[in-house]
Amino acid sequence: MTAQQFVLELGRAMHALGSPSYRVEDTMQACGRTLGLDGAFFSTPTAIFASLAPIGQEAKTTLMRVLPGDHHLGKLAELYAIRDRVVRGECPPERGLLMVREVLARPERGGGVRDVLAHVLAGAGAAPLFGGGSKEVLGAAAAGLVVGALAWLARRRPRFADVVAPLACALAAFLLHTAAAFGLGVDPVIATVAAIVVLLPGFSFTTALAELAMRHLAAGSARLLGTLATLLTMVVGVGLGDRMAAMLHAPVPPPLLVPLAWPWQIAALAATWLAFTILLGATRRQTGWVLLAIAFGYGGARLGGELLGSELGAFLAALVVAGAANLFARFRRQPAATLRTPGLLLLVPGSLGFQGLRTAVTGDYAASVPLLLHMLVVGGAIVAGLLMAGVVVPPPLDVEPDSRAHHAGQ
């Protein structure tokens, strides 16, 4: 009975830490088989169904109500270590169950100030990558401070979490349009997208496409619709912020953009690295790997753009990132997400979808269609790169062969 509880709690924990449905199901299946259990599992973004029992006995079906969780690389690495210890017989399942619960219940250290700083760094780092200049960097950093404060408030007031994204978008858009109206020379469109880039569900969109491509149709469809709903609420928030600013200030012509020189791209990537390290909950040992992932993602995107074009270049970048992540997981016995998640966050097309929907809301449907199609092509290219990486550099088994032999002999 304890082994069954361990497998169920392991699946719940992986889901809470941002793992996709196919990874949750595969891990639960492999661990259950290693511990002498026969099971069938079905994971969705909001529920996990598990039919689990010792081999030869009648299985009982369990429903676990879950909510989509945020990525946390540090806790995910601890979870993998606990899983490996249990399946190797170094730790009994009852002890592993307590350890999994302890990892999930552990509060973050210094989360408030660090998270707000991460939003500031993310906005400042994204602005040059979107073609902004120094004024857009400052504007995005200032608006990122507001977004980070609202995100911190949402953690302290859970009921506030459902409206934090549209409210943050509205405030960021209003403040940046007001700054432009006062003659500060900032491009409010670029600065707004950069300030809210952390909130954009681009990674969820790519995960949904990957789940659909791997025939996890229910999970992928549900996640895709949730992503579109989030994008729509954010677009509505920005639209409200724009209209409020237009009611108070006269329209201002777009400023002349002066993109920063290429050395500033390095500074932008450094700011992005620090932001991802904080927001993804990376440990000190993982910070170097996060930096390497960002380098792979950025370098692969630049090389892919030169060879294949901006749309299909995401395929090569995703192939490089996912291949490196699989090698890392195979030789280090660490979660592939340590490299894959930060590397793909640079590639996901959330900003394209946001701009496309925002253009559609203003009534310019002809201009919104190319942006939305571009988002679909880029998302498809990323998923194709992930699938190809799984063939060229297969990911490691969820359970080591010697672990299976160990439990089979007991």
Q: Band the pLDDT of 290: cuts 50, 70, 90.
A: very high
Which residues pair with residue 60 across a beta bridge?
A: 52
User: Would you place residue 405 in the very low, low, confident or very high pLDDT band (cuts 50, 70, 90)?
Assistant: very low
**Same domain? 174 vs 49:** no
Are 115 and 254 found together in one domain? yes
**Neighbouring residues of 57: CB distance < 8 A, sequence distance ≥ 6:** none
The residue segments making up the domain with residue 360 are 280-410
What is the three-state SS of 28-67? HHHHHHHCCEEEEEEECCCEEEEEEEECCCCCEEEEEECC
CA atoms within 13 A on the CB side of 59: 17
Q: What's the CA gap between 48 and 60, in Å, rounded?
A: 14
The answer as to whether 143 is a domain residue is: yes
In a domain, 390, yes or no: yes
Question: What six digits make up the tokens of 297?
Answer: 């993602």
What does the angle CA 89 – CA 286 – CA 219 come to, to the nearest 5 degrees?
Answer: 70
pLDDT tens for 382-402 read 999 999 999 998 887 665 544
- The verdict on 95 and 123 lying in the same domain is no
The stretch 352-380 carries a mean pLDDT of 76
> Per-residue confidence at 168, pLDDT binned at 50, 70, 90?
very high
Q: pLDDT value at position 110?
A: 56
Per-residue pLDDT at 133 exceeds 50: yes
Query: In this structure, are 124 and 243 located in the same domain?
Result: yes
304 lies in some domain: yes
Residues 144 and 198 in one domain: yes
Tally of domains within the chain = 3
284 and 192 within one domain: no
Task: Give a yes or no: residue 214 inside a domain.
Answer: no
Q: Are residues 133 and 200 in the same domain?
A: yes
Domain boundary among 106, 139, 172: 106
pLDDT digits (tens, 9 = 90+) for 227-256: 989 988 998 999 899 889 989 887 777 777
Residue ending a domain, among 78, 106, 134, is 106
Domain C-terminal end among 106, 141, 169: 106
Do 93 and 121 fall into the same domain?
Answer: no
Indicate if 355 and 386 belong to the same structural domain.
Answer: yes
Amino acid at 251: P
CA–CA gap between residue 324 and residue 333 (Å, rounded): 13
Q: Return d(Cα 405, Cα 34) in angstroms, integer.
A: 8
pLDDT for the residue numbered 369: 78
Only one residue has tokens 């090698």, namely: 327
Same domain (yes/no): 385, 285: yes
Quick one: 92 and 134 in the same domain?
no
| Statement: the pTM of the whole predicted model exceeds 0.75 | yes
Nearest Cα to 4, choosing from 33, 37, 27, 41? 37
What pLDDT, in 10s, does the model give residues 312-344? 788 999 999 999 999 999 888 889 999 999 999
